[in-house]
Structure 1
């Protein structure tokens, strides 16, 4: 699933081609792509004539902020969740949709935003108020916009495993398996360590390292493991810098100890039993 760096890369890549454009129409090639909407016609009526004011990311969501349509006063937001295999790009509206295209948002300049999703887990929803969506309202703070000391304090005296808390979107938003593993390795913390057993200094270091990892990943265009591509169709490059993720059994890049693999919070975790002991 695309995580914070991948969705941030997508938002930055789409922004120049979408910001300021007006939505002419929408087309749905798969009904399940619509979330919390009775039918495609209702969605189409809700987006037509609206100007795209901004393209941005929140957690792992791609957001289009929409101005009111002519004669209306209600702004709106289009939220796209890419899930596991979702991809977004801008192309000519008259182009034949590629296989697995689920949704098209037609623009006033003859182009369209295409949403492709092989496994059909992704979705989009139209919201008058983002805060009215319980999932959105429960999201934790953005890790790149919040002081590490504040993020560390959110752990409180929790007894949960630190990896589980990093993946919990209500604790900190946008982090998934890749960047949790990479961060924990560089911070020298086992994924199964209990948060309450970490000193305040180690907690603060953890989130400072997380910020560094996410910043580097965004600069590299994200990580491509299988399906992820930028809006330009390019692979990300951060997978070439993985220290531990997906490298179970290989030597630790720091000490040479074989990297261990374990299940934490239901997810595969790779770590160095020596460096993260």
Structure 2
């Protein structure tokens, strides 16, 4: 599943490509699994609307829409009642801007024809992604990982009795962190994924905060992590998979101490760690 860095990379790429464009027409596949709003509501909201901005909220891509003149309003004025178009990529979704004459890929579920003649296409083989219209300001359920401060981060986790790996994946605490970056941050902070938040010291929580900030920003800079389906807005792979230290490296030697990386399951989710380096 695309996590914060992948969604951020796509949102930035789409924003550069479509900001200021108008949506001339909308085609939807009609597969209800991909829609969180009625198809007529999506088409009616999008057709004729101008895309003023595109940005990420948690694991969602948010399109700021308006029907005003040719000059987009200041960001501080981009609020309700202007509707927003919300895209969640699910497990295998992609959002790309392509020439209109490019062959339509299998599993394409939405095509937005733009005023430039190009098309914005949503492709999702497994159909866990969702498209929706938000009439009120869309907000993620948890804190934004790149905006939360060190003390607020520590306060979120110091009282949780859940394993720290599970807590990091709790979208009501932090919105956007998934398996890959939770494992990588815990490795850098030298914290075992099974440890409960209540057992972590203030210093360990601060170290984990710094580690998570580092891996998220490094991955964004690298264009995200590609294992199977993920591509950016131009259809290019990410590169952070070449920098992963524990995730997906079961039985491979630890980059620090050469101990084989161990994979375990915590609350139904895999976790990768070094038994020697993480305590």
Q: TM-score range by the shorter chain?
A: over 0.9
Q: CA deviation at 1:31?
A: 2.4
User: CA separation in 2, counterparts of 1:224 and 1:45?
Assistant: 34
Structure 2 equivalent of residue 87 of structure 1 = 94
Counterparts of 1:133-152 in structure 2, within 5 Å, are: 136=139, 139-152=141-154
Q: CA deviation at 1:30?
A: 3.6
The RMSD of aligned alpha carbons is 1.6
Counterparts of 1:98-247 in structure 2, within 5 Å, are: 98-131=105-138, 136=139, 139-247=141-249
User: CA separation in 2, counterparts of 1:140 and 1:233?
Assistant: 29
Per-residue CA deviation, residues 209-248 of structure 1 (Å, 9 max, x unaligned), is 1001101000100000111011122111110011000111
Unaligned stretches of 5+ residues in structure 1:
none
Task: Check conservation: 2:98, 2:118, Cα contact below 8 A.
Answer: yes
Task: Check conservation: 1:66, 1:76, Cα contact below 8 A.
Answer: yes
Structure 1 equivalent of residue 74 of structure 2 = none
Task: Check conservation: 2:36, 2:130, Cα contact below 8 A.
Answer: no
Structure 1 equivalent of residue 19 of structure 2 = 19
Per-residue CA deviation, residues 253-273 of structure 1 (Å, 9 max, x unaligned), is 101111111111211111001
Q: CA deviation at 1:181?
A: 0.3
1:75 has 2:75 as partner: no
Q: Residues 45 and 69 of structure 1: is their aligned pair in 2 closer, same or farther, counting only changes over 3 Å?
A: farther
User: CA separation in 2, counterparts of 1:13 and 1:163?
Assistant: 30
The total of aligned residue pairs comes to: 269
Per-residue CA deviation, residues 56-77 of structure 1 (Å, 9 max, x unaligned), is 001111110111468xx94111
Task: Check conservation: 1:33, 1:103, Cα contact below 8 A.
Answer: no
Structure 2 equivalent of residue 259 of structure 1 = 261
